[in-house]
Amino acid sequence: MASNNILIVGAGVMGQGLAETIAETGTEVTLLDRTLKIAHKSILTIGEHIDQEIKRWGKTQAEKRAILSRITPSADLQAAKKAELVIECIPDNLRKKRELFQMLDDLCPEETIFITNTATLSITELAAVTERADKVIGMHFLYPVPTIPVVEIVGGLKTAESTFQTARELADLLGKTPINVHEYPGYVTTRIIVPLLNEAIHVLMEGVSTAEEIDTAMKLGYGFNTGPLALADQMGLDVVMSWMENLLKELSEHKYNPCPLLRKMVRAGQLGVKTGEGFFKYDNEGIRIRNNDTTSV
């Protein structure tokens, strides 16, 4: 994939992970958010993540400097005028994504391809607000982006084969295994994982077992690397709830109705790793503080 003009819009957890992963390949990338302060803070967070890798002998200081040097922070959407590839990573809100795609469509060259990292929304519906529906595609990366080796590639009704090819080349560049998915709410990974997470939260709410023991049971019983409650904390409980609400709206199936405990925790601002507290507690580096089941029901 010959492109050094990649723009990532949305410097949250997924945008950070993609910026790091792309920069690690030697490719220049611009990381854009609402303010330059947010974009700079996101790059600092990327540096902190790499520091953890350095502690585990996974990377070197020289590699960290090289990766960070390839990421340019920005708050100016005019950067889209030079982008050959735009990757959208804002939260899964259909109205906001459509508004962004309309603005990008006006700014970007005609040949620019739009990639959305949505986990639940319709690619066709997002593409419909642009004049380039053939150049809009979904690439659903999973958290944490640098280490999870799979990506779902989702085409819309009018997505061109050349756009699919670009997505496959990007997946190959990033060392990800592409899974071709027909557009349907939740695709494969989100649709399957959401009911599991929701049921685990119900089991906790009903007092069947503690958060620690629920996760241990699923890890030892079914070979999970991470238990469902810790996984929800990593994803962000607000993000998990938004996925459930989108799927509930699209499919009208009760299994996607967010557990009352999940709703309560989101309202309380206990969103998981990013706030330091969810079903478990975490330190400032996002490391789990052991033996702390924090949730009371």
pLDDT digits (tens, 9 = 90+) for 116-164: 999 999 999 999 999 999 999 999 999 889 999 999 999 999 999 999 9
pLDDT number for residue 143: 87
Q: Which residues pair with 155 in a beta bridge?
A: 137
Domain CATH code at residue 258: 1.10.1040.10
Residue 242 lies in a domain: yes
pLDDT number for residue 76: 96
pLDDT number for residue 297: 47
Is the pLDDT at 296 greater than 50, yes or no?
no
CA dist., res. 138 & res. 126, Å (int): 10
Joined together, the tokens standing for residue 272 give: 């998981």
Residue 140 lies in a domain: yes
pLDDT number for residue 102: 97
Mean pLDDT confidence for 182-204: 96
pLDDT number for residue 295: 54
- What's the predicted TM-score (pTM) here? 0.89
Examine the domain organization and report whether 139 and 201 are in the same domain.
Answer: no
pLDDT number for residue 58: 87
Cβ neighbours, 10 Å, residue 111: 9
pLDDT number for residue 2: 53
pLDDT number for residue 242: 95
Q: pLDDT confidence of 218, banded at 50, 70, 90?
A: very high
pLDDT digits (tens, 9 = 90+) for 4-53: 789 999 999 999 999 999 999 999 999 999 999 999 999 999 999 999 89
Examine the domain organization and report whether 140 and 204 are in the same domain.
Answer: no
pLDDT number for residue 3: 65
Examine the domain organization and report whether 135 and 242 are in the same domain.
Answer: no
Examine the domain organization and report whether 165 and 21 are in the same domain.
Answer: yes
**In this structure, are strands 288-293 and 113-116 parallel, antiparallel, or unpaired?**
unpaired
pLDDT digits (tens, 9 = 90+) for 230-265: 999 999 999 999 999 999 999 999 999 999 999 999
Is the pLDDT at 64 greater than 60, yes or no?
yes
Q: pLDDT confidence of 189, banded at 50, 70, 90?
A: very high
pLDDT number for residue 9: 98
Examine the domain organization and report whether 77 and 201 are in the same domain.
Answer: no
- Nearest alpha-carbon partner for 14 in 36, 37, 31, 28: 31
Average pLDDT, the chain: 94
Q: What is the 3-state secondary structure (H, E, C) of the chain?
A: CCCCCEEEECCCHHHHHHHHHHHHCCCCEEEECCCHHHHHHHHHHHHHHHHHHHHCCCCCHHHHHHHHHCEEEECCHHHHHHCCEEEECCCCCHHHHHHHHHHHHHHCCCCCEEEECCCCCCHHHHHCCCCCHHHEEEEEECCCCCCCCEEEEEECCCCCHHHHHHHHHHHHHCCCEEEEECCCCCCCHHHHHHHHHHHHHHHHHCCCCCHHHHHHHHHHHHCCCCCHHHHHHHHCHHHHHHHHHHHHHHHCCHHHCCCHHHHHHHHCCCCEHHHCECCEEECCCCCEEEEEECCCC
Contact between residue 247 and residue 121 where contact means Cβ atoms under 8 Å apart: no
Residue 117 lies in a domain: yes
Examine the domain organization and report whether 29 and 147 are in the same domain.
Answer: yes
Q: pLDDT confidence of 286, banded at 50, 70, 90?
A: confident
Residue 1 lies in a domain: no
- How many structural domains does the chain have? 2
Domain that holds residue 57: 6-181
Residue 123 lies in a domain: yes
